[in-house]
Amino acid sequence: MANKCEFRELPDLSLARNRTQSFSFNYDGVTYPESLVRYLKGKTYFIHTYGCQANYRDEEVMAGMFENMGMKRASEVGLADVVVLNTCAVRENAEQKVFGMIGELKKYKITDNSRLFCVCGCMVQQEHIIKLITEKYRHIDLIFGTHNITKLPQMLDEVVRKRIRLVDVESAPKEIDENLPSKRLSSFKAFINISYGCDKFCTYCIVPYTRGKERSRLMKDILAEAQELKDLGYQEVTLLGQNVNAYGKDLKDGSTFAKLLEEVAKIGIPRVRFLTSHPWDFTQEIVDVIAKYDNIMKYIHLPVQSGSSEILRLMGRRYDAKKYLELVDMIRAKIPDVALSTDIIVGFPNETYEQFLETVELCKKVQYDSAFTFIYSPRNGTPAAKIKDNVSNKDKLLRFRELVKALEEIIIPKSNAMVGQTYKVLVEGTSEKNAEMLSGYTEKNKLVHFKGDKNLIGKIVNVKILESHTYSLIGELVNE
């Protein structure tokens, strides 16, 4: 029989919308109850992360806590004593995958009832999800949110000691936590959070509710983390935020993204990247800093979402197609060889075919180097989810396919033009499909496979491109 469920705090989207709270910085780090450390020592953990880089960074923090308690990572979910599903809520299909996995876990509980199963992340910031999991999936022991990760040891301790199931999901963040433990997923490329949350409230998006108010870390803390990574020999860092170019606005101490980016570049890590840029806050000053430093990659992810100004207005994006194109011109005027990528949503409620064609047109004008395309997915509690939609799913799928094809026609010739040229590639590992091949990314984020020795993993090497395929390139190592 499942244990009794205790509801400590439940998420509430109307509270999550609140933007009036002020923040303090907490440098206390994480503490570990002795009883839990005794119980978990020598046991194994497995974290399954869905969604964006912010979630992967959270995985590293949680892995750091488990390792600090004397645990080791299990090689697969079925072997782990503690499993954490770190979830994403941005589209419905992400949630469906998680529910598939939650269902899978049940069989492991039947064979060993002492296993502990936790669900955290964006998905459980929604009340209806809590209801579903606690009622239908009673083998889940702990549900916690995005704002109380650092209390994971205390929550787990309670679950173990009291033999209860526990739900503790705060609706809004209270502080910015520093001095967090971290077991990084890579020893040569790393993510650094520069800000949390988002205040843009695009009408289709759940993130401002699940990740809370936009709040920046102090520049000194970010720079200390970057310096530490440089000292450890890291080859690449990516500065992370839902909206990196709004960095610093909330601090009111003169910090800006341009200044931060420049200071990080000066530390001298070979590759500096940043994710994600919103067209609204992208200043000339930022462009100038990107142009000035060779170690800032000339690759910008600049989501447009739609090429129709009317749809952009309904999305609450704060720019129209003309403004977006002017920004692209401003960036290209200073950095002519910049690579641009984007996110596009097809089938926003009541989008007409003509409005969809405006998106295709915009893509042709911008000549993107890569693009992530999504079919609109209504998210409970967002303004767009209340709009009655007259576009059928079939039409949305047809438009989606038409857009993917149009994008391929833009991107393939660009990849073809790379054949014969030599590029710097940061070697990530062996290729997923062929263990004899290595894989890595160029400065402008193109995936390249080539033959080489495994001891090159984690190094930046020169690769001459021999063949181009739709989503990757084949090359050969060039010896200096």
Residues that bind ligand SF4 in the complex, under the rule CB under 6 A = 198, 200-202, 205, 207-208, 242-243, 278
Residue at shortest CB range from ligand 5AD = 343
Which one among 217, 379, 399, 444 touches ligand 5AD, defined by CB under 6 A? 379
* Gap between the terminal Cα atoms of the chain: 65
Euclidean distance between CA atoms 451 and 9, whole angstroms: 53
CA dist., res. 338 & res. 368, Å (int): 10
Q: Are strands 422-430 and 437-442 parallel, antiparallel or unpaired?
A: antiparallel
Q: Which does 242 bind (CB under 5 to 8 A by kind): ligand 5AD, ligand SF4, none?
A: ligand SF4
Q: Which of ligand SF4, ligand 5AD, none does residue 165 bind to, with CB < 5 to 8 Å depending on kind? A: none
What does the alpha-carbon distance between residue 399 and residue 329 come to, in Å, rounded to a whole number? 27
5 three-state secondary structure: strand
Looking at the Cβ atoms of 209 and 450, the one nearer to ligand SF4 is: 209
The nearest distance, CB 376 to ligand 5AD, in angstroms, is 5
To ligand 5AD, the closest distance from the beta carbon of 375 in angstroms equals 7
Say how far apart CA 469 and CA 93 lie, in whole Å: 27
Nearer to ligand SF4, 15 or 435 (CB): 15
CB 105 within 8 A of CB 139: yes
Helix spans in 383-438 (H): 393-416
Q: What is the DSSP letter of 180?
A: -
- Under rule CB under 6 A, residue 377 binds ligand 5AD: yes
Instruction: Name which of residues 403 to 462 contact ligand 5AD (CB under 6 A).
Output: none
Which is closer to ligand SF4, CB of 349 or CB of 440? 349
Nearer to ligand SF4 by C-beta: 137 or 201?
201
Is residue 125 within 8 Å of 169, Cβ to Cβ? yes
Q: Which does 426 bind (CB under 5 to 8 A by kind): ligand 5AD, ligand SF4, none?
A: none
By C-beta, is 26 or 373 nearer to ligand 5AD? 373
Of 181-189, 219-227, 375-383, 433-441, the segment contacting ligand 5AD by CB under 6 A is: 375-383
With CB under 5 to 8 Å by kind, the binding choice for 86 among ligand 5AD, ligand SF4, none is: none
Q: How many CB atoms lie within 10 A of CB 123?
A: 27
Region of 41-49, 100-108, 374-382, 446-454 interacting with ligand 5AD (CB under 6 A) = 374-382
Stretches 9-17, 162-170, 369-377, 428-436: which one binds ligand 5AD (CB under 6 A)? 369-377
| 201, interface contact from ligand SF4, ligand 5AD, none, CB < 5-8 Å by kind | ligand SF4
- The dihedrals phi and psi of 225, each to the nearest 5 degrees, come to -65, -40
Q: Which partner in ligand SF4, ligand 5AD, none is near 243 (CB below 5 to 8 A by kind)? A: ligand SF4
* Interaction of residue 208 with ligand 5AD, rule CB under 6 A: no
Residue 200 interacts, among ligand SF4, ligand 5AD, none and using kind-specific CB cut-offs from 5 to 8 Å, with ligand SF4
Q: Is residue 399 a contact residue for ligand 5AD (CB under 6 A)?
A: no
Cis peptide bond N-terminal to 276, omega within 30: yes
State phi, psi for 58 to the nearest 5 degrees: -60, -40
Q: Which residues between 287 and 346 bind ligand 5AD (CB under 6 A)?
A: 303, 305, 343, 345
- Residue with Cβ nearer ligand 5AD (26 or 380): 380
Chosen residue from 32, 50, 66, 204 binding ligand 5AD by CB under 6 A: 204
Q: Write down the least CB distance from residue 173 to ligand SF4, Å.
A: 15
Please report, for residues 48, 74, 306, the alpha-carbon distance to residue 395 in angstroms, rounded to integers and kept in the order given: 34, 44, 16
CA 368 → CA 359, 405, 414, 449, distances in Å? 12, 13, 9, 22
374 binds ligand 5AD (CB under 6 A): yes
Q: Which does 376 bind (CB under 5 to 8 A by kind): ligand SF4, ligand 5AD, none?
A: ligand 5AD
Q: Nearer Cβ to ligand 5AD, position 65 or 384?
A: 384
Burial grade of 290 (CB within 10 A; 0-12, 13-18, 19 or more): buried
Residues 227-257: b if buried by 16+ CB within 10 A, e if exposed = eebbeeebbbbbbbbbbbbbbbbbbeeebbb
Buried b (16+ CB within 10 A) or exposed e, 177-204: beebbbbbeeebbbbbbbbbbbebebbb
Binding site for ligand 5AD (CB under 6 A): 90-91, 204-205, 303, 305, 343, 345, 374, 376-377, 379
